[in-house]
Amino acid sequence: MLETTPERSRAGGARSKSFYIETFGCQMNVHDSEKVAGVLLGRGYRPAENPAQADLVLYNTCSIREKAAQKVFSRLGEFKSASKEKLIGVLGCVAQQEGEEIFERAPWVSLVCGSASYRKLPELVAEIEAGGRRVTGLDLDTDETFETEITRRDNPYRAYLTIIEGCDYGCAFCVVPRTRGPERSRPSSAILNEARRLADSGYTEIQLLGQTVNSYRDPSPRGMGFVELLREVTAVRGIRRVRFTTSHPNDFTRDTVAAIDSTPALCDHIHLPVQSGSTKVLRAMRRTYTREEYLEKIFWIRSAQRPISITSDIIVGFPGETETDFDETMSLLEQVQYDALFSFKFSPRPNTQALDLTDTVPEEEKGRRLSILQEHQRQIQIARNETLVGTTQEVLVDAQHTARGQWAGRSTSNRVVNFTSPRENLLGEYVSVKVFRAGPNSLVGEHVLQPI
Ligand code: 5AD
């Protein structure tokens, strides 16, 4: 239960202080907020239900695609008058990118901290509590990961677990190396201890996280590689499902497919962002692989004994992308038959190499390409999901839609499955669902009471 009593004391006052974190962006950001919440709980803060009731309001920002900075500044503007009673902090990618500029444009902000400095958060929070007005954590030059004693996990069924932070690739479009810092893997013992603690506290599904999760290299003497780590995490007693995201195609090796084939607890899903189907554009993007090399990896996955679902990210309208290049992306879609796709119009980001390229594709044309791509992908998903009608899927139930009389959860391939059941109290349970209908984004079925 969250506290609802409004507290008007300034952080640092005698009464228990409260915090509220608003999070934008990817799973890594969501999980960072969970860890930041853990740090604050460890310092005696309690969660507030909304920003108005909180003594400390933190914005965990994302700048991967949109003009995020403007949005953050306008959101911060809403807190100008309230800032006499509360402390305001900006975390994440926009914090890292804009740095001290934030204090200039929004002087009521007290804390600006990028993710590579979260390990210093306890000290930074102590500084604000002691009356510090312009506290920053903007160092990118780190080889440490963000370890926390407590992490407040917001999803009671699927736990995120970071295995690697930052990124050493230099993709021309991407802010991540500049906002999250260099790649650094966590020692395997820390990861496995956390996995055991998660299992002990009742979690059965773990999602391993990293910007390039499969570049994992254990820095401790045990020297585990990614696949060995996968096997160890799945071996933790009580863990029934292990997922991982995001894999970089360059580091994707055949033994990951072999591990999925031989380890039922490893989910049959791989997110393998391709970004473009044209080798020319891939080169301009500095993605380090060609279309053919990527397709070879897809072939490995498709050759598995277990069907493995494949999802991807695509950018349309990268500088220099011609109609022919775009056609190659369309033909790649046709060839791969992705189970789901996240697709975006290219947008120039600060401090990236693509900023130096001329943004040749007009906005309207980017939009046209994106709609063609998304419509084609929709048809692919309808067809792929229809092949699952009549099958029985194991679903981890994570939601109940009382109004619709339905339950919902995810299959191991990460599909959303909505279903009816004569039973009650299914949240957190693994159930067998017979699929009788399919749409582009979900399956519909009914609970079958005998095991799969
Ligand atoms: N423009 C458009 N899309 C981008 N992405 C990353 N940077 C950009 C950008 N500048 C997309 C990529 C990445 C996903 C998380 O966001 O597809 O894989």
- Kindly report the protein residue whose alpha carbon is nearest to atom 17 of ligand 1: 313
Q: What distance in Å separates the CA atoms of residue 85 and residue 103, rounded to the nearest whole number?
A: 18
Q: What local confidence, expressed as pLDDT, does residue 65 receive?
A: 82
Q: What local confidence, expressed as pLDDT, does residue 82 receive?
A: 76
Give the pTM. Answer: 0.93
In the reported structure, the alpha carbon of residue 65 is separated from the centroid of ligand 1 by a whole-number distance in angstroms of 6
Report whether residue 232 contacts ligand 1, using a CB cutoff of 6 Å. Answer: no
- Kindly report the protein residue whose alpha carbon is nearest to atom 13 of ligand 1: 313
Q: Which atom of ligand 1 is nearest to the CA of 347?
A: 1
Q: Which atom of ligand 1 is nearest to the CA of 343?
A: 17
3-state SS assignment for residue 321:
coil
In the reported structure, the alpha carbon of residue 151 is separated from the centroid of ligand 1 by a whole-number distance in angstroms of 28
In the reported structure, the alpha carbon of residue 200 is separated from the centroid of ligand 1 by a whole-number distance in angstroms of 37
- Kindly report the protein residue whose alpha carbon is nearest to atom 4 of ligand 1: 65
Report whether residue 273 contacts ligand 1, using a CB cutoff of 6 Å. Answer: yes
Q: Which atom of ligand 1 is nearest to the CA of 345?
A: 2
Mean pLDDT, the chain, whole residue set: 93
Helices (H) and strands (E) in the chain, counts: 13, 19
Give pLDDT < 50 ranges for the chain. 1-14
Q: What local confidence, expressed as pLDDT, does residue 451 receive?
A: 54
E strands, 213-339, are 241-245, 269-271, 309-316
Report whether residue 346 contacts ligand 1, using a CB cutoff of 6 Å. Answer: yes
Q: What distance in Å separates the CA atoms of residue 396 and residue 409, rounded to the nearest whole number?
A: 5
Is residue 154 a contact partner of residue 89, using CB atoms and an 8 Å limit? no
Q: What local confidence, expressed as pLDDT, does residue 67 receive?
A: 73
